[in-house]
Amino acid sequence: MSTITAPRLPSGFNEYLPAEQIEFNRLLAIIRTTYEHYGFTPLDTPNVELSEVLLAKGGGETEKQIYRFERGKNDLSLRFDLTVPLARYVAQHQGELAFPFRRYQIGKVYRAERAQAGRFREFYQCDIDMIGSDSSIADAEFPAIINEIFEQFDFGEFTIRINNRKVLNGFFDELGLGAAATDVLRIIDKIEKISRGDLMAELHNAGCSDEQVARLLEFITIQGENDEILRKLETIDINNEQFQTGARELHDVLTALRAMHVPERRVKLDLTITRGLDYYTGTVYETNLNDHPEVGSVCSGGRYDNLTANYSKRSLPGVGISIGLSRLFYKLREAGIVKTAQQTLARVMVAPLSPVQLTRALDVAHELRTVCPVTTYVDDVTAGKKLKYADKLGVRYAVLIGEDEAAAGDVTLKDMQTGENRRMSVRNVCDLLQA
């Protein structure tokens, strides 16, 4: 007797039922179309990279998280993000690319980390980067793209929070934080996740004095409208070139966003936004859904100085954002924001009522496909079962062809929402579907 293997997925990997996959793909299509609308070029790097290339920056925590294996003489790893492959690609092909190089990539990445709710070992990243431009005006394009994408997602209002690491680093220099600055950045990055008391304790543990902690908290919690915050930054008594450069860049980004017609209500200067990694050097972004703060940041990124430092002597600054769509989709689904109902992309199901009408049904389906996606049900079962199938799929219309319809050269169109039946020509059905 053969043994039946239980069908199951490894921990941290995910797949969707048809209705969920359709909605996921809809979001993917919005992202891809918007990226292309702004002139970004598609890129598709391999899932597998040479381990020495992937880990060129050094192992550390990254090395613990990668899926690594040997094949022949090759030491290989699955990519853990889309940024390192981009750096390798740009360095490898820099003589063939036009800079600024604007690319987008949508693909799966792999991390062998502890699986938990909303955090997977295989997940989709949707990245765009502009490489080779150091203009702060270019930085404004990315919030504009975020705005267009999330408008189309229609998950309610959202806020794109913007800061500049030069402002923070200049202020840290003024405070004399020195080597503690990197730790302070990471602590501030947790400001919404821990209490004020815990925040102060962590800052003290990082080596900050009472005066430094007080001045730091006063600074990062500056409130007001965007222009008001900019004026405070301009008038604050800090004679630090890096700080002043960052403040000017924030001003330039806001000015450009207005010119790009991004609604003022969706853009917020927020001095607590740090993007904790030392990777970022200028403008930084985080995006949140106003009505669902529990979801956390749904899109983030920023400017960095030298993407290809590990692979080339040529200095190439860049700016980019990333949407972790798998995590976002999970969070939105858990919050009841994502609605999934239709289990097919088809708007119409065509079904013969008996095998005699099969040829006619296939011909009708062919004609209807000139205007919309169509599925067929050709099994020899009752009309009731066919309609039940159409209802379960979530199609809007069922087109039924019986003896009378075949003889007259028309069809019966059933509206699955209203239950209404109408006899009409195939041409009229096409006109209705197009309308």
Query: pLDDT for 118-164, tens place per residue?
Result: 779 999 999 999 999 999 899 999 999 999 999 999 889 999 999 99
* Residue 135 Cα to chain centre, angstroms: 24
Half-sphere exposure of 401 (CA within 13 A, CB side): 26
Strand, helix or coil for residue 298: strand
Answer whether 273's CB lies under 8 Å from 160's CB. Answer: no
217-246 average pLDDT score: 92
Question: What CA dihedral angle connects 93, 72, 111 and 150, to 10 degrees?
Answer: 40
The percent of residues in the chain predicted with pLDDT above 70, rounded, is: 98
Q: DSSP class of residue 7?
A: P
Give the residue, 183 or 50, on which the prediction is more confident.
Answer: 50
Q: What is the pLDDT of residues 4-15, one digit of tens each?
A: 999 999 998 999
Give the residue, 239 or 365, on which the prediction is more confident.
Answer: 365
CA distances from 302 to 28, 100, 128 (A): 21, 16, 11
Outline where 189-342 has alpha helix (H). Answer: 196-205, 210-220, 226-235, 241-259, 325-334
**Residue 385 has what pLDDT?**
97
64-85 average pLDDT score: 93
Of the candidate ranges 268-282, 297-311, 367-381, the one whose mean pLDDT is the lowest: 268-282
**CB count in 10 Å sphere of residue 373:** 12
Give 318-379 as a 3 state SS string: EEEEEECHHHHHHHHHHCCCCCCCCCCCCCEEEEECCHHHHHHHHHHHHHHCCCCCEEECCC
Looking at residue 288, its amino acid is N
Range(s) for CATH 3.30.930.10 in the chain? 11-142+297-336, 157-290
Q: What is the pLDDT of residues 333-359, one digit of tens each?
A: 888 888 777 899 999 999 999 999 999
Q: What is the pLDDT of residues 414-429, one digit of tens each?
A: 999 999 999 999 999 9
* Average pLDDT in the chain: 92
Q: What is 157-290's CATH topology?
A: BirA Bifunctional Protein; domain 2 (3.30.930)
Q: How far apart are CA 84 and CA 381, in angstroms?
A: 55
What is the helix, strand, coil percentage profile of the chain, to 5? 45, 20, 35
pLDDT at position 1 over 70: no
pLDDT band at 207; cut points 50, 70, 90: confident
What's the CATH architecture for 11-142+297-336? 2-Layer Sandwich (3.30)
**Residue 114 has what pLDDT?**
81
Only one residue has tokens 């918007």, namely: 34
Q: What is the pLDDT of residues 353-396, one digit of tens each?
A: 999 999 999 999 999 999 999 999 999 999 999 999 999 999 99
| Angle subtended at Cα 314 by Cα 310 and Cα 315, rounded to the nearest 5 degrees | 85
Answer whether 113's CB lies under 8 Å from 119's CB. Answer: yes
pLDDT at position 231 over 90: yes
Strand, helix or coil for residue 225: coil
**Residue 58 has what pLDDT?**
67
**Residue 182 has what pLDDT?**
83
Q: How far apart are CA 3 and CA 222, in angstroms?
A: 66
Q: What is the pLDDT of residues 15-44, one digit of tens each?
A: 999 999 999 999 999 999 999 999 999 999
pLDDT band at 59; cut points 50, 70, 90: low
pLDDT at position 276 over 70: no
Task: Tell me which CATH code domain 348-434 carries.
Answer: 3.40.50.800
Range(s) for CATH 3.40.50.800 in the chain? 348-434
